[in-house]
Structure 1
Amino acid sequence: MRVNKIALAGNPNTGKSTLFNTLTGLKQHTGNWPGKTVVHAEGFFEHKGEQYVLVDLPGTYSLFSNSTDEEVARDYIIFDQPDATIVVLDATSLERNLNLALQVLEMTNNVIICINLIDEAEKKNIQIDEKKLARELGVPVVKISARNKKGIDQLLDTLNQLVNGQIITTPYRMTYSREIEEAISKIESKLNGYFDDKYPSRWVALRLLDGDEDLIVKLHNHNNNRQREVSTNGVPISVKS
């Protein structure tokens, strides 16, 4: 039977680990990511006949590879390409948490935004219109309280529908200045066919513009069938595909 790979991402202190434990119970194990000191936690669960392996990514505020935690989380999403990524947000700090969510939306279409700690938000009279947020972000949004197990069934049903293709997402992608958008378009045109659409070309273009040398090396290693040259900012970059 096919097992769906699910990534669990989020800022620190959003209740991500509580949700991980709620979903997987005792069916989990931990170790270290290969070559890293960062803890790697995996758990297993079933829902409506579907089997899932849930990978708890390190809690991070961004995915720009400024730390080992960020690098691990980024690499899992982009290279392992899970069937879905659940991004856990704190309902009481939604604006701050959305930064990570927007970065994930640049990387993959199969995303569920999970707004946790909704019970704490209600105590502070914070009202969140998840339907409007879902329309704006182009992906499902589910409100939960992992601690009280509120909304868990809805989250699991939504996940089931997403991995089975019953939900079609149209993720929001940030628009930058005219100069940056032109540069992105030029790089995307040169990337066309390099990766056989395996990686999101817009996201790769953004990272190349940022001069993410570590990513360039990893792309080189993950795509070693043929070699071409990509140029950004006038600097030739060797990439294999």
Structure 2
Amino acid sequence: MNKRIALAGNPNTGKSTLFNLLTGLKQHTGNWPGKTVAHAEGELTTEKATYQIIDLPGTYSLYSNSEDEEVARNYIIFEKPALTLVVLDATSIERNLNLALQVMEMTSQVIVCINLIDEARRKGIEIDAKKMSEQLGVPVILLSAREKIGIIQLLKTIDNMMERKITTKPFQIAYSDEIEQKIKQLEPHIKKVFGDDLPTRWIALRLLDNDQSLFDELKSYLGQDKQTSIEKVIYSNKERSYGA
């Protein structure tokens, strides 16, 4: 059973504080293979199991704008952690939701952790976690890693997610009719190459963005003998785009 948990979030959301609280002294740091980007890993033990937590670089998005973003994106897509915790700042939810929505396009196994809830309450900000959960289609936990608020609920939710006791249906952004039509055209071709191994809708969106960094990663993921198959999809997409 895959017991790895990825921890994602914008900078300054208290993500590292949450990581330190969950892992205690059972952690170590290092660099990603072939990268200058540092990362931390640690162990979390709950009532049900012990999990490995990977603290991803703090990023504002998961596109190919920086090495940090590529590292975080690649881990979620290619390493396929069993669960991804997305940490949001309770005082700046609207700005932080961009990253959460991107992660939910990549994987359905997501818990949204709204951190710094103590600061939000001092500012008179009230957050309806139940309503947010209904709208986002994934569990939403209010917490303060600094004050240790909501941690027990988070641990129970992690166990329930890992045991598949919680069914998620992540909110999907609806794009323009033109983009949605192109996604529908691309998805069958992508599925032929990757099957259910990778999220076809997300890959289609990145192909439409002409994300060269991701193209290279996809070819590397497939291996030399299967690279031609994804190249055909990439080039057919470019022809489709130019002809639009």
What range describes the TM-score normalised by the shorter chain of this pair? over 0.9
- Counterpart of 1:234 in structure 2: which amino acid? E
What amino acid does structure 2 have at the position aligned with 1:168? T
Structure 1 counterpart of 2:43:
44
Separation in 2, partners of 1:47, 1:118: 23
Is the Cα contact below 8 Å between 1:41 and 1:55 reproduced in 2?
A: yes
Contact 2:88 2:97 in 1 (8 A): yes
Higher strand proportion (structure 1 or 2)? 1
Verify: 1:84 aligned to 2:83, yes or no.
Answer: yes
Letter in 1 for 2:171: Y
- The answer to whether the 8 A contact 1:3-1:51 is kept is no
Report sequence identity in percent.
58
Who is 1:234 aligned against? Answer: 239
Q: What does residue 61 of structure 1 align with? A: 60
Q: What is the alpha-carbon distance in structure 2 between the residues aligned to residue 176 and residue 235 of structure 1?
A: 18
Deviation at residue 192 of structure 1 after TM alignment: 2.3
Measure the CA separation in 2 of the matches of 1:169 and 1:101: 14
2:154 aligned residue: 155
TM-score, normalised to structure 2, is 0.94
User: Which of the two has greater helix per residue?
Assistant: 2
Quick check: 2:104–2:110 contact (8 Å CA) kept in 1?
yes
After superposition, the C-alpha distances for 1:28-85 in whole angstroms (9 at most, x for unaligned) are 0001011111111000021013110000000000000200110100000000000000
Quote the residue 1:102 is aligned against. 101
Q: Name the structure 1 match of 2:170.
A: 171
| Conservation of the 8 A alpha-carbon contact between 1:63 and 1:71 | yes
Residues of 2 paired with 1:4 and 1:47: CA distance? 12
User: Is the 1:3–1:50 Cα contact (8 Å) retained in structure 2?
Assistant: no
Q: What corresponds to 2:121 in structure 1?
A: 122
State the Cα distance separating 1:218 from its structure 2 match. 1.0
> 1:177-228, CA deviations, whole angstroms, 9 ceiling, x for partnerless residues?
0000001111112212211210000000000000011111111111135332
Give, as a single letter, the amino acid of the residue that structure 2 aligns with 1:84. L
**Contact 2:2–2:81 (Cα < 8 Å) also in 1:** no
Query: 2:143 aligned with 1:144, yes or no?
Result: yes
**TM-score, length of structure 1 as denominator length:** 0.95
Q: Secondary structure at the match of 2:193?
A: coil
How far apart in 2 are the matches of 1:181 and 1:48?
43
In the alignment, residue 109 of structure 1 is paired with which amino acid? S
Residue 209 of structure 1 corresponds to which residue in structure 2? 208
Distance in 1 between residues matched to 2:16 and 2:190, nearest whole Å: 37
Residues 13 and 116 in structure 2, CA contact (< 8 A), matched pair in contact too: yes
Match of 2:22 in 1: 23
- Measured after TM superposition, the shift of residue 233 of structure 1 is 3.2
With 181-190 and 96-105 compared, the bigger mean Cα shift is at 181-190
Alignment: residue pair count? 235
Take 1:38 and 1:233, find their aligned partners in 2: how far apart are those partners? 32
Listed one character per residue, the Cα deviations across residues 99-158 of structure 1 (whole Å, up to 9, x for unaligned) are: 000000000000000000000000011010010000000000000000011100100100
User: Is contact 2:48–2:159 with CA below 8 Å preserved after alignment?
Assistant: no
How far apart in 1 are the matches of 2:25 and 2:200? 39
The answer for unaligned runs of 5 or more in structure 1 is 237-241
CA contact (8 A) 2:9 2:60 kept: yes
Q: Over the residues paired in the alignment, what is the CA RMSD in angstroms?
A: 1.2
Aligned-partner Cα distance in 1 for 2:34–2:141: 35
Structure 1 ranges of 4+ moved more than 6 A: none
